[in-house]
Amino acid sequence: MDRERLYWWALSLAPGIGTRRFFKLLEEFGSVQDVWTCRPADLKPYLPPRIREKFVAFRANFDPEPRLKALQERGISLITLLDAEYPENLRDIADPPPVLYVLGEFKPQDSRSIAVVGSRRATPYGRTTAERFGRELAELGFTVVSGMARGIDTCAHRGALAAGGRTIAVLGCGLDYIYPPENRNLMAKIAREGAVITEFPLGTPPEAGHFPIRNRIISGLSLGVLVVEAAASSGSLITVDWALEQGRDVFAVPGNINSPYSKGTNFLISQGARLVQEAREIAAELRLPVEEPEGGGAASISLSSEEKKVLAVFQDRHLHIDEIIRATRLAPQQVVSILLMLELKGCVQQLPGKLFVKSG
């Protein structure tokens, strides 16, 4: 790591120096190196006494070697705002993170990103819809950005991965924490097929106050934010606030007016968010060309013989899972697994009450 990038990283780690103080000090001193090497008295106009004392003590004892070794052992890359691979969309927001920790890699096509967010306590409708939008967006050549939280976030990532697309997860903790813990395998797959990123250093736990801060990165990476399902007080609406502040487009999926988990999305629509029912509408609103799914789309999806057998029992009507099991004479667990794969491939949708319907 070259000296200037090392100073950027070191200053970002200093206690009490958040993003705004970081850039204020950079503006006043002209370079991060000058901030790091200045006399303690020079910091008096810019830092409160206790923070100044902590910073001076921190830089006097800072040893980068063990910290760098810990990153290398985990395969984590360190990207600063000085680096060419820093995402351009994120670079343009008012308060970009000075440093990003990355598992995986950014690619040029990630400039075509859409954020998909929503409730952690998602309904079956929300989960199915999030997976479908994740898949459709990936098929159209978009990178899907979300926060890897339970519910809508997880389903959006899975949909993008099922389509063979790219997805980026933005965490509210250090990369040595897997949060939520049940997403261990998902996190590993996202890192292989896209990137898992955070502005928080190793050792930072997933505390509640970190998530509103990380939401500005989710929207900042993206050309627009899609809210699939959200309650009136959902944290997803914080992402919408960031999106509006950053000049990003906001889209929302309409929901059941009787469901508390749709009040947030329906409110957004009433306030001017673009109502969308499929990913192509997002591309059209952004006036972006799209990639056609290879082989022409859904008609060319590869299905196993068991998947074809299950799909054949649908005749344009809702079926309870027990009816599907009886009609196919397959084992219940096998039917559950097949229906999940058909959902990910966009062939069926799950409705409340263990009902399923053929898509399209």
pLDDT per residue as tens digits for the range 203-255: 999 999 999 999 999 999 999 999 999 999 888 999 999 999 999 999 999 99
Is residue 170 very low, low, confident or very high in pLDDT (cuts 50, 70, 90)?
A: very high
Residue 56 has pLDDT above 80, yes or no: yes
Tens of pLDDT, residue by residue over 120-152, are: 999 988 999 999 999 999 999 999 999 999 999
Note the Cα 47 to chain centre separation in Å.
Answer: 33
CA-based nearest residue to 154, from 125, 134, 172: 134
Q: Is the pLDDT of residue 299 over 90?
A: no
Dihedral angle sign, alpha carbons of residues 299, 304, 305, 309: negative
- In this structure, which topology does domain 1-62 adopt according to CATH? DNA polymerase; domain 1 (1.10.150)
Q: Is pTM, for the whole model, over 0.85?
A: no
Which has the closest alpha carbon to 306: 267, 344, 352, 337? 337
Where does CATH 1.10.150 sit in the chain?
Answer: 1-62
- Looking at the chain, the domain(s) classified CATH 3.40.50.450 span 108-285
Asked if 181 and 89 count as a contact pair (C-beta separation under 8 A), the reply is: no
Note the pLDDT of residue 159: 96
Q: Which CATH class is domain 108-285?
A: alpha beta
CA distance 198 to 171: 5
**What pLDDT was estimated at residue 317?**
75
Residue 306's pLDDT is 86
**pLDDT band of 297, cuts 50, 70, 90:** very low
- CATH number of this structure's domain 301-358, picked from the four choices 3.40.50.280, 1.10.10.10, 3.40.50.970, 3.40.50.2300: 1.10.10.10
Q: What is the pLDDT of residue 95?
A: 93
How many CA atoms are closer than 13 Å to the CA of 223, on its beta-carbon side?
17
* Secondary structure (3-state) at 236: helix
Integer-rounded Cα radius of gyration of the chain: 23
Task: Say what the alpha-carbon torsion angle 304, 360, 340, 307 is, to the nearest 10 degrees.
Answer: -20
What pLDDT sits at residue 347? 84
| Calpha distance 360→343 (Å, rounded) | 12
Domain with CATH 1.10.10.10 in the chain: 301-358
